Amino acid sequence: MKRIMTAALGAAIIATPAFAEYPERAITMVVPFSAGGPTDTVTRLVAESMSKDLGQQIVVENVGGAGGTLGAGKVAKADADGYTLLLHHIGMATSATLYRKLAYDPLNAFDYVGLVTDVPMVIVARPNFEPADLKGLIEYVKANKDKVNYANAGIGAASHLCGMMFMSAIETKLTAVPYKGTGPALTDLMGGQVDFMCDQTTNTTNQIKEKKIKAYATTTAKRLDALPDVPTAGEGGLPGFQVGIWHAVYAPKGTPKAAIDKLSAALQKALKDPNVVERFASLGTVPVTQEEATPAALEAKLKSEIARWKPVIESAGEYAD
């Protein structure tokens, strides 16, 4: 009933001619992480390019905390007028299971604008770790599961998700050593204090190229342009092991369709902007295709990702609250 009401309300707003001029004032795009991090960088790039197309400034607001759920919760409660947006990553899907008492329903509290990018991940290890390839790694890890330590950047982080997916794929439970963020985890990995981890290319590409850490496999379907010598997990003997940290733009549920359409079109244009493409490349990622930067594609992605991560997180038994 409520949904019909909001839909009707939305239709009424569209009918008023004033709304045809959307956006009439500055738009706020909330990032649920602190300034300076990878998600913040992605947001600022996209927001800048989108604002050129929309003819209005997009103000980026960092509402960090609680694994992104504080910022997402804020947008879920915001006015659905198209002037408050959210850019969130895969955490939107995993928080549905990681947090057992969430203040909003990730599936029903938002309208979808579109996907932005899908950052690939790489399984990396300390430089002198014995196994030669992914197959060797899996055998070694299974044989020495009481000795091996794998690092992650804290519960809910990309590296934590990938680690859980890896354990579930090889059906072995290992000792996870959590760190506060990727930086210190990588430092200890280079220093040989822990054995391996799995993290985004944004954080690992340079160190792999400088041979400070060893790369076993990418979590993608195809090899990466930035790391052509690193095989995919599929080539290495783990078919179907694909994890990407996807980013997407959302609006509060009930945002007028006219606004969503305009935003979606602006997003698609931004993802073709040479400046965005170039800066994404320097972060080790690429924009999604035009078809994926749409509300329908995002809705499907979110649904499938929530379903995919639920059993992985539940079997690992590691929750964030």
Q: Does 59 bind another protein (CB under 8 A)?
A: yes
Shorter beta-carbon distance to another protein: residue 213 or 233: 213
Three-state DSSP class for residue 182: helix
CB atoms within 10 A of CB 97: 19
Q: Does 278 bind another protein (CB under 8 A)?
A: no
Q: How far is the CB of 14 from another protein (least distance, A)?
A: 24
List the one residue out of 133, 149, 247 whose CA is nearest residue 192: 149
List the one residue out of 181, 215, 211 whose CA is nearest residue 201: 215
Q: How far is the CB of 3 from another protein (least distance, A)?
A: 27
Residues in region 125-154 near another protein by CB under 8 A: 146, 149, 154
Among positions 6, 14, 37, 223, the unique one binding another protein when judged by CB under 8 A: 37
Q: Does 82 bind another protein (CB under 8 A)?
A: no
Q: Which stretch binds another protein (CB under 8 A): 191-199, 226-234, 268-276, 300-308?
A: 191-199
Looking at residue 289, what DSSP letter applies? P
Among positions 11, 132, 184, 272, the unique one binding another protein when judged by CB under 8 A: 184
Among positions 169, 190, 258, 286, the unique one binding another protein when judged by CB under 8 A: 190
Q: Does 319 bind another protein (CB under 8 A)?
A: yes
Three-state DSSP class for residue 256: coil
N-terminal to C-terminal alpha carbon distance within the chain? 32
Looking at residue 317, what DSSP letter applies? T
Three-state DSSP class for residue 148: coil
Q: How far is the CB of 15 from another protein (least distance, A)?
A: 26
252, 96 contact by CB (below 8 A): no
Q: Does 180 bind another protein (CB under 8 A)?
A: yes
59 to 34, 197, 253, 263, 305: CA distances (angstroms): 15, 35, 20, 15, 29
Residues that bind another protein (CB under 8 A): 28, 34-38, 59-66, 70, 103, 146, 149, 154-156, 175, 177-181, 183-184, 186-188, 190-191, 193-194, 206, 318-321
